[in-house]
Chains A and B, each alone.
Chain A
C-alpha cells in the first residue's frame, strides 16, 4: 500500500511535469493565432526551460537564500497539490491529506511569490509582492469556500470524495454549486496568474514584479511552477466542478479528463487574448464581488440547497 502511494505520487508529479510545458505551448500557439501571428513551435516552452536551466546562476537580490528557497518551494508546492488530485485516476494521497491541506497548499503557492519579492528587496519586486498579497487575500477564500462547500455537501473532508463534483450535492437543483461554478470560472485566470489578472507581474507596469531579480535556473523554477500551476489548477477545477466521465476508467475516462483540462487552458487563453489588464483596484473589486457570491453560495450549501 505504501509503495503504491509513493508510486502514485511519482506518477502524478511526473505527469504534470511532463505535460505542463506542453500546456503552455498550446496557450502560446493559440494566442499567436488569435493575434494573426505564426507563434512559436508547440514544444518551445521545453526548450525555454532547458535554456534557462543551463544559464549562469546569478544572485542579484538582497537575500539570495530566500530567493532560491522560494523557487524550490513554489515548484514543490504545486507538485504536492498535483499528488492530491485525481489526474484521470485515483488520488494517490487520498488516505493522507484532506481538503484543508489543499487549501493550505494553494495559499502556500501564493506565499512563494511574496517570498520571491521580499527576497529580491528592490522597489519593483516589493511592489509586486504587495500586489500579490492583496490579490491573495481577496482570492484565496474563493477556493477555500468551494472546497468547504463540497465538504459540507458530502459531509467529509476526504479529497477523493470532495474532488468529485461534490459541490452539486445530491438532491434537487444545485443552486450553490452552480453559483460557485460561475464565480470560480470568473476568477480562474487570477489563480493561474494570467491576463487580465496578472497585476502582480504586469510586465508593462512593474516589470514582472516579484520576479524582477530572477534569472537563469531560479527563473526556470518559477516559470516551471507557473506552467504546472496552469495545468494543476485546471485539473482541480475539472475535478471539483465537471468530474463527469472521469470514473469510466482507462482509456475513456483518462482522455475525457485531460480533454477537459485542455478546454480550461483554451478558455484561459481566449480570455487573456481578449482583455486588457485590470488595474489592481479594479481587480480587487472584481474579486470582492465574486467572494460575496461565493459566501452566499456557502450559506445555501449549509442549508442543503
Chain B
C-alpha cells in the first residue's frame, strides 16, 4: 500500500513529468522521469516528502538503449520504502541538472557521475574532481562501456595538482594526511587552522581505487562478485557480500531459503560485534587511552576465533552466493557461539561501566565533533552518527532484510550528536547484536541453505539493497545484464555519506579534536574509494633501487 500511496501523491503533484512508475514490491518504487524534470522531482521527494538521500547511480546504457542512465536513490525510512528516481540522458548531450543545490547530500555522488561516467551535473555547487587523479586527462571516463577495465589513458600529466580553495584570512594550512598515524588508509584533509582552532578544511581523497565495480561489470560473473564485494572493506566485508547478493536476488525475484537468511543475519551480527569492539578500542587509542584499547581488543579476540571456526576465516567469511549461503552452522558451532556470547556479554558490561563513569574520557569526547539533527538530515548522514543525534535510523528495522523481520531488537539512540554519544550508542549496540544472534539461534529451523537456480537470471532488471553495516547503511544498486554478470553494480558505503559531514563537524573545533572527530564516524577509505581503473604509478614499469629511492627522498626537500 505504501508504494501505491506515494505513487498517487506523486501523480497528483508531478503528473506530466512522470514517464512511468514501477512498484515491483510494496517496499520498492522506481520513478522514471523526463530529464528536465529531475531537479524538481528530487527536490519534491527530498524537501516535501522528507525522504533521505541515498546515492546517485550513473550507468552507460548506450550499448542497450543508446542513452545514459542516471538514478537518484532515496529512502523513506518511516514508511519502509526504498525508491529510485530514474532518468535517461542522450548520448549527444551528456548533461543533467544538478540536484546538489536542493539536496546537499548529493554533492559527492554527482561529482563522481561527472568523473566516471562523464555526465555533467549542470549547476553543481562544487564542480571539482572527486575520484579521478588530477593528472588524468579530460574526456576519459572509466565507467563507460567502451573503456576497457585495463585502459591506460594517453597524456597523463603527473605535474598537475588538485586546486585547493584559498585558506580563510589569518589561517595557516595544516596538512592532515595522506599519511597520519590515526589514518589507516590514505586521505588528505587540508586544515585551515588559526592558532589551535580549525576554521575550515578541504578534502581530497580517493587515492586507493581498485576498480572493483568496473571489474565486476566486465570480467567477473554473478557468483564471483560476492567474493570481490567482500574485499571492498576489511572490517565490514560481509555487509557488502550480503548486500550485493540481496540486490541481485531482488532484481531476479529470488529468495534465499529461511535458514540461509538466519545464517546471513548471524554472520552480519558477528561482524557488527567485532567491528564495534574494534572501533571503541580505536577511539580510545586516538584519545590516548591505550589501556581500554588493549582490553577492547582482548575481549574482541574470541569473536574473531569463533568467526574463524564457523567460516574458516577471521574476516572475509565468503558467505553468500546468489540465492543462499555457502556453509551451514553445526550444533557444536552453535553451542560454542552461545558460550562466546555469554562471556562477551559479561566482560562488555564491565567495560561499559568503567567507560560511562570515566570523567577524563568524557571531557575529551563531550561536545566534540557535533553532528546535530539538522546536519544529519541535510547531509543524509546514517548509522551511529545519525543515531547519536537522536535520529532513529536503522536499516535492519526500516528496510528489513535477511531474518531481521523475525527478531526483536531496540534501535539504540542517544542525544547530543557528539563523539561521546557515538561511543555510547556503539557500546550499547553490542548487547542488541548479542540478543539478535541468540534469537536467530533459537528460531533457526533445519533446512536447505541454497536455492537451486535453474534458469539464467533475467536481463535489465533493477535491484536495490540496503544493509545496516556497523558504521551505517551500505546500499547496493544492481542492473542485471548479459554474459552472467550485472551491467551496472553501484556500491555506496556508509563512509561515503558520513565523510562529507566532517568539514562541518570539525569547524571551529580544537585541532586536537580533529583525529577523534574523524575517527568517530569510523571512516573506511577503502569502502569509499572502492573503484578506479589502474594504478598509474605501477603501470609504467620501473624498478627503483633502494639507493635511488633514498636519493629521491632526500632530494625531495627542495
Binding site for B on A (CB under 8 A): 31, 34-37, 58, 60, 123-124, 127, 195-196, 198-199, 202-207, 273-282
With the chains together, A274 CA to B512 CA distance in Å? 20
Q: Does B510 contact A (CB under 8 A)?
A: yes
Q: For A205, what are the chain B residues with a Cβ–Cβ distance below 8 Å? A: 182, 511-512, 514-515
With the chains together, A31 CA to B293 CA distance in Å? 13
Shortest 7 CB-CB distances between A and B: which pairs? A277-B288, A35-B294, A276-B289, A276-B287, A279-B512, A273-B291, A204-B182
Q: State whether A123 touches B284 (Cβ < 8 A).
A: no
Q: Does B551 contact A (CB under 8 A)?
A: no
- Kindly identify which residue among A123, A202, A204 contacts B285, using a CB–CB cutoff of 8 Å: A204
- B117-125, B360-368, B448-456: which one contacts chain A? B360-368
Q: State the interface size on chain B (CB cutoff 8 A).
A: 33
Q: State whether A273 touches B290 (Cβ < 8 A).
A: yes
**Most chain-A Cβ atoms within 10 A of its Cβ — which of B180, B290, B513?**
B290
Q: State whether A35 touches B363 (Cβ < 8 A).
A: no
With the chains together, A123 CA to B181 CA distance in Å? 16
**Most chain-B Cβ atoms within 10 A of its Cβ — which of A196, A198, A203, A206?**
A206
Q: State whether A34 touches B291 (Cβ < 8 A).
A: yes
Which residue on B lies nearest to A282, using beta carbons?
B363
Q: State whether A276 touches B294 (Cβ < 8 A).
A: no
With the chains together, A280 CA to B510 CA distance in Å? 9
Q: State whether A280 touches B512 (Cβ < 8 A).
A: yes
Q: Report how many A-B pairs have Cβ atoms within 8 Å.
A: 79
- Kindly identify which residue among A31, A196, A274, A280 contacts B196, using a CB–CB cutoff of 8 Å: A280
Mask: chain B, 343-363; 1 = CB below 8 Å from A; 0 = not? 000000000000000101101
Q: For A31, what are the chain B residues with a Cβ–Cβ distance below 8 Å? A: 290
11 A-B residue pairings within 8 Å (CB atoms): A123-B172, A199-B512, A204-B181, A204-B288, A275-B360, A276-B288, A276-B360, A278-B360, A278-B363, A279-B364, A279-B510
Q: Is the interface of A mostly helix, strand, loop or mixed?
A: loop
Q: State whether A35 touches B291 (Cβ < 8 A).
A: yes
Q: How far is the CB of B172 from chain A (nearest CB, A)?
A: 8
With the chains together, A279 CA to B367 CA distance in Å? 13
With the chains together, A274 CA to B355 CA distance in Å? 11
Q: Does B10 contact A (CB under 8 A)?
A: no
Q: State whether B363 touches A204 (Cβ < 8 A).
A: no
Knowing A196-B360, A203-B181, A281-B196 touch, does A276 contact B512 (C-beta < 8 A)?
no
With the chains together, A60 CA to B358 CA distance in Å? 41
With the chains together, A105 CA to B363 CA distance in Å? 34
With the chains together, A199 CA to B510 CA distance in Å? 13
Q: For A34, what are the chain B residues with a Cβ–Cβ distance below 8 Å? A: 291
Mask: chain B, 152-194; 1 = CB below 8 Å from A; 0 = not? 0000000000000000000011110000111000000000000
Q: Does B313 contact A (CB under 8 A)?
A: no
